């Protein structure tokens, strides 16, 4: 599950990456990518994720703007990930464990809340003929984010995280739907109140599930 954590954290930081660029051409592609992401979100997304061990997980997410998102995975995975504009909250419902990570703590915040990360990273965006944008940062040496669109660069198709020239995480979008009215969604879609802990009511996605809480044992 560490790789799932890494995928989402890195995805958040995409908007961090897409902020401070050097060179006119890079700035042009940076603005172009930001505009396409702005046109795409808010959206409901179904996806599959494959890690470097060739393990594939399916999931559902809602991505809005200004650092708001929710990600849930298909059972038996019992993780919930929520971005509330300031924090990335990662909850393991099976073990009732919750972690809080600052949204500007990695490369992923660039995708969700670019205004917040404008002066954090030195970024470079280029455009490849195979329908993807390449995003790199001096602050994340050896890491590249590839954001894929269709051949006409209109529809978001997924993204890859490249580490040391090898694919670490590959996310493919199977279905994406623009959300016209976020107010029609559950009021807690971008929140994680106490009652959601270790509870199936904490999951707002399309999957049926049962939560069997496992003992965590004593810690010293």
Domain presence at residue 141 = yes
Per the structure, the complete domain to which residue 46 belongs is given by 2-202
CA distances (Å), 13 to each of 94, 161, 183, in order?
Answer: 27, 11, 26
Q: CA 30 to CA 55: how far, in whole Å?
A: 32
Output the pTM of the full model: 0.84
Q: CA 23 to CA 43: how far, in whole Å?
A: 31
Name beta bridge partners: 188.
none
**Whole-number average pLDDT of the chain:** 81
3-state secondary structure of 92: strand
Domain presence at residue 214 = no
Checking if the pLDDT of 107 tops 60, the result is no
Residue 12: CB partners within 8 Å, gap ≥ 6? 67, 69, 83, 88, 103, 106, 107, 108, 109, 110, 111, 112
**What is the model's pLDDT at position 3?**
56
Task: Write out pLDDT tens, residues 170-186.
Answer: 999 999 999 999 999 99
Domain presence at residue 69 = yes
More confident residue, 150 or 31: 150
Q: How confident is the model at residue 217 (pLDDT cuts 50, 70, 90)?
A: low
- Which CATH number do you get for residue 69? 2.50.20.10
Domain presence at residue 218 = no
Domain presence at residue 213 = no
Please count the structural domains in the chain: 1
Domain presence at residue 215 = no
Q: How confident is the model at residue 94 (pLDDT cuts 50, 70, 90)?
A: very high
For residue 213, what is the enclosing H or E element? none
Share of residues in the chain with pLDDT > 90 (%)? 42
**What is the model's pLDDT at position 29?**
86
Domain presence at residue 31 = yes
Q: CA 92 to CA 98: how far, in whole Å?
A: 6
């Amino acid at each position: 599950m560490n790789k799932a954590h890494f995928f989402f954290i890195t995805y958040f930081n995409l908007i961090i990456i897409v902020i401070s660029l050097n060179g006119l051409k890079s700035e042009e592609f940076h603005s172009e990518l930001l505009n396409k992401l702005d046109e795409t979100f808010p959206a409901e997304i179904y996806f599959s994720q494959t890690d470097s061990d060739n393990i594939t997980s399916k999931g559902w997410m809602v991505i809005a703007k200004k650092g708001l998102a929710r990600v849930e995975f298909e059972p038996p995975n019992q993780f919930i990930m929520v971005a509330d504009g300031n924090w990335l909250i990662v909850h393991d419902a099976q073990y009732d464990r919750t972690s809080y990570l600052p949204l500007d703590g990695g490369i992923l915040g660039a995708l969700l809340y670019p205004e917040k990360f404008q002066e954090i990273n030195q970024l470079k965006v280029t455009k490849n003929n195979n329908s993807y944008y390449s995003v790199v940062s001096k602050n994340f040496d050896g890491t590249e984010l590839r954001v894929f669109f269709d051949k006409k660069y209109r529809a978001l198709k997924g993204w890859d995280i490249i580490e040391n020239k090898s694919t670490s995480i590959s996310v493919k979008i199977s279905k994406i739907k623009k959300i016209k009215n976020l107010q029609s969604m559950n009021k807690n879609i971008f929140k994680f109140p106490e009652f959601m802990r270790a509870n199936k009511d904490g999951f707002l996605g399309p999957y049926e599930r049962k939560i069997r809480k496992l003992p965590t044992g004593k810690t010293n």
